[in-house]
Amino acid sequence: MKRYTLSFIVLVIAIGIPFLLITPNERDAMSGDERVTRELLKDALEKAIQTATINYYKPIEDTNKMYRGAIKGALASLDDTYTYYILEREHQRAVENLYNAEFGGLGVQIYEDHRGFIKISKPIPNTPAALANLQAGDYITKVDGKRIHLSEKNGMTRDSVIDLLRGKADTDVTITVQRKFLEPFEVTLTRAIVPIRSVKSTMLDGNIGYIQISGFIGNKGGTEEEFKNALTAHKAAGMKALILDLRGNQGGLLNAAYHIADAFINKGLIVSTKSETNSKFDEEYPATSNLSCPPDIPLIVLVNEYSASASEIVAGAIKDTRRGILVGQKTYGKGVVQKRYELSDGSMSLTISTYYTPNGTSINDVGITPQVSIEREEPDEIEHIMLRKLDSTDFVENFISKWIDDAHQKPGEMPKDFSLLERDLPKLQRTLEEENITVGLRWLKQRAEQFFNLYVGIDQVANLAYDQQLKEAIRIIEANEIEKYLNPIPETVEPPSTTQANMPPEHETTTEE
Angle of helix 441-456 relative to helix 395-407, nearest 10 degrees, comes to 60
- Residue ranges of the domains in the chain? 1-32+39-85+197-377+466-513, 102-195, 381-456
Catalytic residue among 262, 272, 320, 353: 320
Q: What is the 3-state secondary structure (H, E, C) of 335-383?
A: CEEEEEEEECCEEEEEEEEEEECCCCCCCCCCCCCCCEECCCCCCCHHH
Whether 320 sits among the annotated catalytic residues: the reply is yes
The one-letter amino acid at 14: A
**pLDDT at res. 221:** 82
What is the Cα–Cα distance from 187 to 189, expressed in whole angstroms? 6
Dihedral (CA of 180, 186, 189, 191) sign: positive
The one-letter amino acid at 448: A
Q: What are phi and psi of 131, to 5 degrees?
A: -65, -25
**CATH node for 1-32+39-85+197-377+466-513:** 3.90.226.10
The CATH number, out of the four listed (3.40.50.10490, 2.80.10.50, 3.90.550.10, 2.30.42.10), of the domain defined by the range 102-195: 2.30.42.10
Q: Which region holds residue 221: left if phi is over 0, alpha if psi is between -120 and 50, else beta?
A: left
Catalytic residue among 198, 201, 309, 401: 309
Beta bridge partners of 178: 139
| pLDDT in single tens digits along all 513 residues of the chain | 444 333 444 554 333 333 333 333 444 444 555 567 888 999 999 999 999 999 999 999 999 999 999 999 999 999 999 999 999 988 988 899 999 999 999 999 999 988 899 999 889 999 999 999 998 889 999 999 999 999 988 889 999 999 999 999 999 999 999 998 889 999 999 999 999 999 999 999 999 999 999 999 998 789 999 999 999 999 999 999 999 999 999 999 999 999 999 999 999 999 999 999 999 999 999 999 989 999 999 999 999 999 999 999 999 999 999 999 999 999 999 999 999 999 988 999 999 999 999 999 999 999 999 999 998 878 888 998 999 999 899 899 999 989 988 888 777 678 889 999 999 999 999 999 999 999 999 999 999 999 999 888 888 899 998 899 999 999 999 999 999 999 855 554 444 433 333 333 333 222 222
Whether 201 sits among the annotated catalytic residues: the reply is no
Whether 334 sits among the annotated catalytic residues: the reply is yes
Catalytic residue among 334, 349, 401, 445: 334
Which pTM value belongs to this model? Answer: 0.84
**pLDDT at res. 491:** 52
